[in-house]
Amino acid sequence: ALQHLAALAAAASSSSASVSTMPPAPAASKMLAENNLSADQVDGSGKRGQVLKGDVIAAVAKGISAPAAAPAATPAAVRGPSTVEDASREERVKMTRLRQTIAKRLKDAQNTAAMLTTYNEVDMKAVMDLRNKYKDIFEKKHGVKLGFMGFFTKAVTHALKELPAVNAEIDGTDVIYKNYCHVGMAVGTDKGLVVPVIRDADQMSIAEIEKELGRLAKAARDGSLSMADMQGGTFTITNGGVYGSLMSSPILNAPQSGILGMHKIQERPVAIGGQVVIRPMMYLALSYDHRIVDGKEAVTFLVRVKESLEDPERLVLDL
């Protein structure tokens, strides 16, 4: 923030010293508009101080930006100076463009949606038994490993068909219901979180989902995801369990109205038929936009996901 203020101050002082009576050159005017700058922010090198295209390019390269908007009701806090002892042990690093975009989108989602989270837990024994029984045959036939994401994605698309509000989005005073399921998968990379999208996941088999997820995950790690790979999602799944997360409240991926958080599978004692048994349990969390999704719908959605995973034959039989 201090660097930003310093840049603005430098821009203001330099521009005030070189106000031109000549209008900017046409190419410069176009670049000024594209960068949301005014001519008095740029030093003109043309006749009588006229601003040329090269001057705008140089100004942008220096980091001169548009003047700050009128202060909001709650202005951004400016970081106070560190003590002399601490300052020598700190390192200031510019946020990457990706991290800036992530930060803005998450804060916008938090400020816009009436976000709420509901929780449940699922007994993963049935899915794990099915996976262990068929994983070798599955990999031999389809050339891809059988993980849990295929089961979760199919369970989600079944639940979304029954509860379309969770798959919808708000546009002004309208609700847009989508008769398709483009499921985003949050993937952590060295540069930050990206959310590639499995398009028409509701029309795909578990094998097709696993293949597409493998392709997208590899592209995310390689940094070769295209914009098309990350656009158009209607619902998102995030799996903190791979890092050991036991419970979390995920933030919506705007403008979507729902995001499902998966977590670590942990053996726990549970009561089944009046007996205490050890089962592989996973907590599930559904964050949703309460403006469009009612509590009953959110809870029912999560129950449907739980039912599908605890009885995976339902996914095969489309029940």
Can you list the alpha helix ranges (DSSP code H) found in 123-201? 125-142, 149-162
According to the model, what pLDDT value does residue 25 have? Answer: 80
Q: How many whole angstroms separate alpha carbon 273 and alpha carbon 275?
A: 5
* Structure tokens given for 141: 């036939």
Q: Is 290 a residue of the active site?
A: yes
217 vs 18: which has the higher pLDDT = 217
Partners of 288 in the β-ladder: 116, 258
The larger pLDDT score, comparing residue 128 to residue 225, is at 128
CATH number of the 114-317 domain: 3.30.559.10
Report d(CA 288, CA 104) in Å as an integer.
Answer: 19
Checking if the pLDDT of 233 tops 90, the result is yes
Q: What is the mean pLDDT of residues 296-314?
A: 93
Q: Is the pLDDT of residue 10 over 70?
A: no
pLDDT at 97: 86
Q: What is the reported pLDDT for 76?
A: 58
- Residue 263 designated active-site: no
What integer pLDDT is reported at residue 65 of this predicted model?
A: 61
The pLDDT of residue 288 is above 80? yes
Delimiting residues of CATH 4.10.320.10 domain(s) in the chain: 2-92
The confidence score (pLDDT) of residue 265 equals: 94
State pLDDT tens for residues 239-248.
888 888 889 9
Please give the average per-residue pLDDT across 48-56, as a whole number: 79
Per-residue pLDDT at 304: 96
Q: Name the one residue in this structure whose structure tokens are 């907590």.
A: 283
User: Which residue has better confidence, 62 or 74?
Assistant: 62
Q: Which of the pair, 117 or 35, is modelled with greater confidence? A: 117
Mean pLDDT of 73-102: 80
For residue 110, is pLDDT > 90?
A: no
* pLDDT value at 162 more than 90: yes
Averaged pLDDT, 75-101: 82
Q: What percentage of the chain reaches a pLDDT higher than 70?
A: 88
Ranges for all domains in the chain classified under CATH 3.30.559.10 = 114-317
Q: Using CA atoms, how far apart are residues 38 and 60, in angstroms rounded to an integer?
A: 12
2-92 sits in which CATH class? few secondary structures
Q: Which of 222, 294, 311, 318 is the catalytic position?
A: 294
pLDDT above 70 for 319: no
274 vs 39, more confident: 274
What pLDDT is stored for residue 72 in this prediction?
Answer: 52
List Cβ neighbours of 196 (8 Å cut-off, separation of 6 or more). Answer: 184, 185, 187, 216, 217, 219, 220, 225, 229, 230
Residue found under tokens 């592209």:
219
Nearest partner of 185 among 210, 158, 166, judged by Cα: 210
Task: Report, as an integer, the average pLDDT of 107-124.
Answer: 91
Which of 108, 129, 136, 290 is catalytic? The answer is: 290
The pTM score is: 0.70
d(CA 108, CA 195): 17
> For residue 299, how many other CB atoms are within 10 A of its CB?
15
